[in-house]
Structure 1
Amino acid sequence: MMSLDDPHAPLLTLLRVGRIFAPEPLEATELLIADGRIAALGRDLEVPVGWPVEVVEARELIAVPAFIDQHVHVTGGGGEGGCGNRCPEITAEEIAAMGIATVVGVLGTDGISRSPADLLAKVRGLRAEGIAAYMYTGSYRVPPPTLTGDLQRDLAWIPEVIGLGELAISDHRSSQPRQDEIERLVSEVRVGAMLAGKRGICHFHVGDGRRGLEPLRRLLAETEIPADQVIPTHVNRHRALLEEAADYALGFEACVDVTAFDEVGEEDISAFEAVSYLLERGVPVEFITMSSDCNGSLPEFDAKGAYLGMRVARNTALIGDWQRLVREQVLPLDQALGLISGHVARVLGLQERKGRLAVGFDADVTLLDGELQPRQTFVAGKRLYASDGSA
């Protein structure tokens, strides 16, 4: 991986590829990157003689907007079975190898031994290595742990904080928050985000409890909170919850996030199946996103809630399920890209700089081969991953 502080690194990068999807297909086959952003797209682009430019010849590859994963346990999740069941941190290499340029870090069940301060330190560490990393303040718990002691101050004063999450509902591991507590927290986040000029989403972990999405349905039906501030994730835990998610998305014109489970259990529904079902139900593709939940725990409990064991989630299923949606023609490539790029950027409030290949946007570019496998990943114009090990 190239050092971001290398004084000898070229100031310009010219990518020559076979095709470009921005996400819509373009006639252009070249991208010129300058100062971390896309400076030009076209054919036969020329750079003045003597200018410091690196030319990347990748005529056999397809350039697409680099992927965005809005739910990553960057410091590791777990802990439900005690301190011996903590999941490991994720590395910048593991992120970039999947074509992912941007991640949002979350805390989960364990907001005690892991804190928002730990999460912020890891996010800043990933940024130092080149990944575009952000975080949610809070955890499963109500009241949520914060960096400054106040949700609004976290949003206003910490640039990396873009919302609250993952706040747990309909789960035996949650704080069983009352409806009025949920409404107050979402309202605080909304005002804090307005003061900070951020979207300020509230990212809700939805368990397999019988209440399902009821707290969020009530929130949107009984208050003035706009639907685009609330994002339920893990909506494909079981068939009844997925059906409810379709009704929720259609009824409120709201976005739902599907988790690409590393291994699908008896009740879990794969991200491929979940997205296919939502589309069949008439949910617009713009209302659907996918995330990995990687480096979180995949715990198993018995009928009484007793811990049985766990596995560590990975981000490979996210790319695999997404590839399958294109290969099996559920969605064409340009529309499928939104599930892990453009739609996610909009949800997070980053759509003015990420999720597209266009002049002025961040030069976050993933190069795919004919099988849609990531071969090179550029973040802000820096190559962080190459399948041949040249990054």
Structure 2
Amino acid sequence: MSPNKARPADTLTLLRVGETFTPERCEATDILMAGGKIVALGQDLAVPHGWPVREVDARHLIAVPAFIDQHVHVTGGGGEGGCGTRCPPISAHDIASMGIGTVVGVLGTDSISRSPADLLAAVRGLAADGLAAYMYTGAYRVPAPTLTGDIQRDLAWIPEVIGVGEIAISDHRSSQPRQDELERLVSDARVGAMLAGKRGICHFHLGDGKRGLAPLRRLLEETEIPADQIIPTHVNRRPELLEEAADFALAFDASVDVTAFEDAGDGLSAFEAVSRLLARGVSPARITLSSDCNGSLPEFDADGAYVGMQVARNTALIADWQRLVHDEVLPLEAALGLLTANVARVLGLHAHKGRLTLGFDADITLLDKALRPQRTFVAGRCVYGDVDA
């Protein structure tokens, strides 16, 4: 299920690096890439004479799996204050410069002036620029807007569609879906995904409404839907919601997604949120991070009237992740999972993404000692940074 890999390179690429994390620490310091895949890992690898190989000397850098951002408004979000408040789309360069090789595009509040077709076109545009790009069908509202008129058909027939989202609950901007509507939507996603061999997650936007995670708790308690089908995001919007998210993760062995807000306001930064979840006993394997980049950060007054907004960026995602390592909240191996292996598992991409291992997509980010992304490879091609530097 890799609909948008970059074209295979004409030559093999041999990366010689200082350290490798797969995300676990690995003894290999050489990574050979061919046909978009990792074909060898080791030390002092030699390629037979005459083979078309390009060597990249990056022995001052650390190789890690390229990051995966499961919540990106690739067409731009916003619009809550009228057409003049629509956010701009994001470029492949702005994504890859943060070490991100794979993105999942979402629609938000506005599925009127923007549509799943717009989102699919943007996703395919990012793929043409060398990224791995997927999307959720649907948007805030229920019934979900789709490409084919049906959630199951979208999942079954559109390779880039890997789930449904972001569905808004506990938010004054949601369509206030009834419990039976949520159950039908999640069930349709599950069956459509089964027919396509996908995970088919339902990515739920959490607002700051008083119901919090109650609709999702009820869904898992009263139906046969497994917990790995349900992914709540923005769980750090306010401290009380984060406490609910910790209870949710522990009660159902479920995953929760923390948003790297640039300005958390009354909520918590991603650094604070992950730290608190860990303190509550949530396994780091059940935590993921995402950026919400190019979405809107609207402000509303006490009556729910729009008063202004900012545009989210993905810089906080990397800054908060780096701080988790620098402040020794998590070792690098475990912290990498929040942006790589955990996310791949949640999305159902874990058979070929999220790890540096033989046969997996050659999606590799090279970090300096301060954990700043210097180069990003997707399917063996450098999409950010100078491979000759």
**Fold conserved (TM > 0.5)?**
yes
Per-residue deviation, 1:5: 12
AA of the residue aligned to 2:269: S
Q: Which residue of 1 aligns with 2:83?
A: 83
Q: 1:308 to 1:139 in 2, by over 3 A?
A: same
Q: Which residue of 2 aligns with 1:307?
A: 306
Per-residue deviation, 1:6: 11
What stretches of structure 1 of length at least 5 have no aligned partner? none
Q: 1:344 to 1:243 in 2, by over 3 A?
A: same
- C-alpha contact 1:10 1:53 (8 A) present in aligned 2: no
Q: Which residue of 1 aligns with 2:366?
A: 367
Alpha-carbon distance between aligned partners in 1 of 2:140 and 2:15, rounded to the nearest angstrom: 42
AA of the residue aligned to 1:376: R
2:147 is paired with a residue of what secondary structure? coil
What stretches of structure 2 of length at least 5 have no aligned partner? none
Which stretch has the larger CA shift, 293-302 or 43-52? 43-52
- C-alpha contact 1:259 1:291 (8 A) present in aligned 2: yes
Which stretch has the larger CA shift, 166-175 or 44-53? 44-53
Q: Which residue of 2 aligns with 1:342?
A: 341
Cα root mean square deviation, aligned: 1.6
Per-residue deviation, 1:169: 0.1
Q: Share of identical aligned residues, percent?
A: 74
Per-residue deviation, 1:51: 1.3
Q: Superposed, which structure 2 residues align to 1:1-391 within 5 Å?
A: 10-265=10-265, 267-386=266-385
AA of the residue aligned to 2:352: R
Cα-to-partner distance string for 1:51-100 (whole Å, 9 max, x where unaligned): 11111100000000000000000000000000000100000000100000
- C-alpha contact 1:338 1:344 (8 A) present in aligned 2: yes
- C-alpha contact 1:10 1:54 (8 A) present in aligned 2: no
AA of the residue aligned to 1:143: P
Query: What TM-score, normalized to structure 1?
Result: 0.97
- C-alpha contact 2:7 2:36 (8 A) present in aligned 1: no
Alpha-carbon distance between aligned partners in 2 of 1:118 and 1:199, rounded to the nearest angstrom: 23
AA of the residue aligned to 1:139: A
- C-alpha contact 2:5 2:379 (8 A) present in aligned 1: no
Q: 1:83 to 1:31 in 2, by over 3 A?
A: same
AA of the residue aligned to 1:294: C
Alpha-carbon distance between aligned partners in 1 of 2:9 and 2:198, rounded to the nearest angstrom: 33
- Write out the 4+ residue segments of structure 1 that deviate beyond 6 Å after TM superposition: 4-8
- C-alpha contact 1:260 1:290 (8 A) present in aligned 2: yes
AA of the residue aligned to 2:380: G
Q: 1:6 to 1:271 in 2, by over 3 A?
A: closer
Alpha-carbon distance between aligned partners in 2 of 1:8 and 1:353, rounded to the nearest angstrom: 16
Per-residue deviation, 1:10: 3.9
Alpha-carbon distance between aligned partners in 2 of 1:384 and 1:130, rounded to the nearest angstrom: 6
Which stretch has the larger CA shift, 32-41 or 5-14? 5-14
Alpha-carbon distance between aligned partners in 2 of 1:96 and 1:8, rounded to the nearest angstrom: 19
Per-residue deviation, 1:359: 0.4
Query: What TM-score, normalized to structure 2?
Result: 0.97
